[in-house]
Amino acid sequence: MICFPNCKINIGLFITRKREDGYHDLETVFYPVTEHKSAPLNDVLEVVPAIAEPQLHLSGLGVSGNTSDNLVWKAYQLLKELYSDKVPALDIYLHKVIPMGAGLGGGSADGAFMLRLLNDYCNLALSAQQLAEYALQLGSDCPFFIYNTPQYATGRGEHMTPMQVDLSGYEIRVVCAGVHVSTREAFARITPRMAPFNLRGISKLPVSEWRHQISNDFEASVFSIYPELAAIKQQMYEQGAVYASMTGTGSAIYGLFERAK
């Protein structure tokens, strides 16, 4: 069985508080990118019965870290431990296309899609809510990819409310500059503040006005270190983007361009 984990973009990202546990509270809208004409932005994930011991096979873009730290492997081990009578030994093939350290959520998508894939492959009959609870054990934004629909997110990104945001009239263009932004370092440079705009009202705000109301708190510090990213955002506007922004903690920049009618 095979699936194609997609990436996401953040529409607005406000860091509102540093918590006592060391994490930060945020407000953002997660939006799934399921279509990208410039180049494919989907990973490829496949499971087949294992010939011997279960293994994770990687290809495509390089993935740092040990296999035991990979969210796909963690997802497999999690469900195999909980449902040992239903989850067999599997060979897992992950082909990476979504860049790491770009704010596109590729690793989180892989982990969540692995849960979804195992749910179907092994006939576990788990609900979306159950899968989201398991996904939260993998990472804060992993539950988003269980639902894979626009979501208003708070807390560390794990508290989500469905949003009516439709960008089907726009082409989403994503530029990955090959810069890896450390999430830890990005947060270390942030000064929390009250959200300057209520993102829950985003569906009532014309996209043409987003540029003046919606921002990403990480841009100032990240752009000061990597001015080429600020240049890419400016080029998006010069090329006709209605709205452009960095996604997550970076470094990917996306632009929304009106589709030809």
Catalytic residues: 8, 141
Task: Provide the b/e sequence for 33-55 (b: ≥16 CB within 10 Å).
Answer: beebeeeebbbbbbbeeeeeebe
Residues 26, 28, 34, 36: what is their CA dihedral angle, to the nearest 10 degrees? Answer: -100
**Cβ 218 vs Cβ 190: under 8 Å:** yes
Stretch (H or E) spanning 44:
strand 44-49
CA 48 to chain centre: 26
Residues 6+ apart with CB under 8 A from 82: none
Between CA 118 and CA 172 the distance in angstroms is: 30
Measured in whole angstroms, how far is the alpha carbon of residue 162 from the centre of its chain? 16
Q: What is the DSSP string of 241-254?
A: -SEEEE-TTSS-EE
221 is written with which tokens? Answer: 């510090």
Q: Are 226 and 179 a contacting pair, CB within 8 Å?
A: yes
State the Rg of the chain over Cα.
Answer: 19
What backbone torsions phi and psi does residue 18 show, to the nearest 5 degrees?
Answer: -95, 125
